[in-house]
Amino acid sequence: MEFFPIFLNLKNRSCLVVGGGAIAERKTALLLRSGADVTLISPDLCHNLTTWRDMGRYTHLAREFRDEDLSGQHLAIAATNDSAVNRHIAEIAGNLRIPVNVVDQPELCSFIVPSIIDRSPVVAAISTGGASPVLARLIRSRLESLIPAGYGRLAQLCNRFRQRVKERFAEPAERRLFWDRILQGGVAERIFSGHEDEADQLMEKALSIPISAEETGEVYLVGAGPGDPDLLTFRALRLMQQADVVIYDRLVAKPILDMTRHDAEHIYVGKERDKHTMRQEEINQLLAKLAKQGKRVLRLKGGDPFIFGRGGEEIDTLAAEGVPFQVIPGITAASGCASYAGIPLTHRDYAQSVTFVTGHLKDGSMNINWEMLAQPSQTIVFYMGLVGLPIICRELQNHGVGGEMPIALVQQGTTHMQRVFTGTLDTIMDIVERERPKPPTLIIVGRVVELQEKLAWYEAPPHSEQGATSPVDY
């Protein structure tokens, strides 16, 4: 190691910053966050430093650096635009054995400032030894998704219960097993979801039962988004990687499924039109059964589970069965596919509202309020409507929508299989006959479709259609 990693306690300790520009601002901000008593020396200050000075957050000396300024300091940062001044500060600080950081000159530093992930009291620091601060920031951005903001609250809970856990479990091996179960189970998830009172109650319960006793698991109802794995939320990805059982649909894309734990049990419950591997009621009961066995169950759904995803039906059963669950929303197909197709769902000049409609109901019918959908200045998005497209075109026109109204079909949106077909209510069936779009295909009706050619930004790469899948049943 080029540098020994260490965390300093600077609360109420005198620290010196020399410089008044943007770099000095960043270093001062970190010191203030750590509770340091900061003195900053510079004739001139940037905007934020001026604001903080006026707020009384630090002491400002509006002059040049003097050697005696280092007297009594616990730490110093040289951040001027004069390399000679910075070198001089480093030499004086070294003679006084004061830790010193010289910005962009690691050879003069006795310490360096790492790239930081702050989840206080949990803090992670990444350093490249001054070789590449940009690389350190890139690594930090990767780790940000793996360290939720709730980890700070989780650490505070651990601190509150630390002594009681030590008294309850005398053997270190038992304590390790207990904390492993707590930090990867329902207690942690309640902290992350903002239910701290419930987390405390679960901790009390966990302390009252033997370490080997089984506990009820939990169901994670996760929206996997419209297809592009990069559109997964941080929370979705974390739960996907810790679940014991994964229950997934036919159109969950393989790249997304591959991001779940490889040693988890995978159960396929896919549905096709008029062909269901497992009835919805059976899926509901399966989720409850597995959770009652103490398993962490991932119910992985394309798009958003609460927008035509039957998520409400599933958690209704879980609530009735007393099974803990949480819902992690995803980018719904309408938003994701429209964005990747270059079609804004709303626009001040074209549409002031947007309506999501399912192309078929539970009984397979298409009983829709056509009069409401025929109103002007709106965008209509049909899920699962490709088979019923002739009815959609006919009924909209029967209720007063002109045949020149623009319409778009987005096939397998946000994936490498994406294709976009645009036309009008009068012409779209001829386009379908010619191009033969494949499900899943989202239908967008409205004047906003006129913007597609101008705003289209995403171009699917050349591909082979064999074996391609997309994650949303629409």
**What whole-number distance in Å separates Cα of residue 306 and Cα of residue 312?**
6
Q: Does residue 413 have a known ligand-binding role?
A: yes
Residues acting as catalytic residues: 249, 271
Q: Does residue 443 have a known ligand-binding role?
A: no
Q: Does residue 467 have a known ligand-binding role?
A: no
Q: Does residue 147 have a known ligand-binding role?
A: no
Length of the chain: 474
Q: Does residue 303 have a known ligand-binding role?
A: yes
Q: Does residue 263 have a known ligand-binding role?
A: no
Q: Does residue 332 have a known ligand-binding role?
A: yes
Q: Does residue 225 have a known ligand-binding role?
A: no
Q: Does residue 43 have a known ligand-binding role?
A: yes
Secondary structure in 3-state letters for 231-274: HCCHHHHHHHCCCCEEEECCCCCHHHHCCCCCCCEEEECCEECC
Secondary structure in 3-state letters for 196-230: HHHHHHHHHHHHHCCCCCCCCCEEEEEECECCCHH
Q: Does residue 23 have a known ligand-binding role?
A: yes
Amino acid present at 253: A
| Residues whose CB falls within 8 Å of the CB of residue 80, separated by 6 or more in sequence, listed in order | 18, 19, 24, 42, 65, 86
Q: Where does residue 303 fall: left (phi above 0), alpha (psi -120 to 50 degrees), or beta otherwise? A: left
| Residues whose CB falls within 8 Å of the CB of residue 97, separated by 6 or more in sequence, listed in order | none
Q: Does residue 331 have a known ligand-binding role?
A: no
Residue 267, judged by CB atoms within 10 A of its CB (0-12, 13-18, 19+), counts as: middle
Q: Does residue 407 have a known ligand-binding role?
A: no
Q: Does residue 384 have a known ligand-binding role?
A: yes
Longest pairwise C-alpha distance within the chain: 88
| Three-point CA angle 417, 260, 248, nearest 5° | 65
Positive/negative CA dihedral, 3, 112, 139, 459: negative
Binding site per annotation, positions for S-adenosyl-L-methionine: 226, 302-304, 307, 332-333, 384, 413
Indicate the annotated binding residues for NAD(+). 22-23, 43-44
Q: Which residues are annotated as a binding site?
A: 22-23, 43-44, 226, 302-304, 307, 332-333, 384, 413
